[in-house]
Structure 1
Amino acid sequence: MAHAYLQVIAHFFAKPGQGDAIVEPLTELAAATRAEPKNLYYEFFRSPLAPDHFVILEQYSDANGLAEHRETEHFHRLGFGTIIPMLERREVSSHMVSGDAT
């Protein structure tokens, strides 16, 4: 039987020239997020043409997964404390998806 999960798509646009500085904390955030109980998938991708632009794909086992992720120590420290201040802007959307998360 198919299971619904939350798909999150985030675009992070670093301040000009800050892309390199975001890679290490984003790598640490990704590893910590993958260990969260409701996280099914977390990967980020850096644009080869616009190195200050990152796309993050996340999947959570239910609709509350993202909200719980945003309350974690690692998100407060790395997301709010380190990465977000280096961004020019960010766009985050989330969608419930029916099917198997892979």
Structure 2
Amino acid sequence: MTTHFTVIATYTATSDTADVVATLLPLLAEASRKEDGNISYTVARDLEDLTRFTIAERYVDAAAFQAHRDSEHFQRIGVGTIIPLLADRVVFAYAGTGEL
């Protein structure tokens, strides 16, 4: 049985910053997908509330997720640029098993 580490994050921007966040998240996703321990990284924008985004990330383990959080691109794009534009941010982490 394969194990993995899954993270689901909900980012809520303000009405003034939502379109900027929408342009930055794909840049973060593209860089994150290149990380050694990343299995997948997807971003979706809510169809009814355009200020809300859901990010689904899967890593080989918790250490790979921590490496993601420590990465230059996450610190620069995520922490330095996107997070200050948000009204709210909720992150849940899960251990998973099963086929990838």
When the two structures are superposed, what TM-score results if normalisation uses the length of structure 1?
0.94
Structure 1 letter corresponding to 2:30: A
The corresponding residue for 2:57 is 58
Cα shift at 1:66: 1.4
- The structure carrying a bigger helix percent of its residues is 2
Runs of 4 or more consecutive aligned structure 1 residues displaced over 6 Å after TM superposition: none
CA distance in 2, matches of 1:92, 1:32: 19
Unaligned runs of 5+ in 1: none
CA distance in 2, matches of 1:55, 1:88: 14
Helix, strand or coil at the partner of 1:45: strand
More divergent stretch after superposition (61-70 vs 41-50): 61-70
What whole-Å deviation, never above 9, does each CA across 1:23-60 have from its counterpart, x for those lacking one?
22111100000000000000000011100000000000
Q: Residues 1-102 of structure 1: matches in 2 within 5 Å? A: 2-101=1-100
Structure 2 letter corresponding to 1:56: I
When the two structures are superposed, what TM-score results if normalisation uses the length of structure 2?
0.96
CA RMSD, aligned part only?
A: 0.8
Helix, strand or coil at the partner of 1:54: strand
Aligned pairs, number: 100
CA distance in 2, matches of 1:66, 1:92: 12
CA distance in 2, matches of 1:63, 1:81: 23
Cα shift at 1:83: 0.3
CA distance in 2, matches of 1:95, 1:48: 25
- Percent identity reads 36
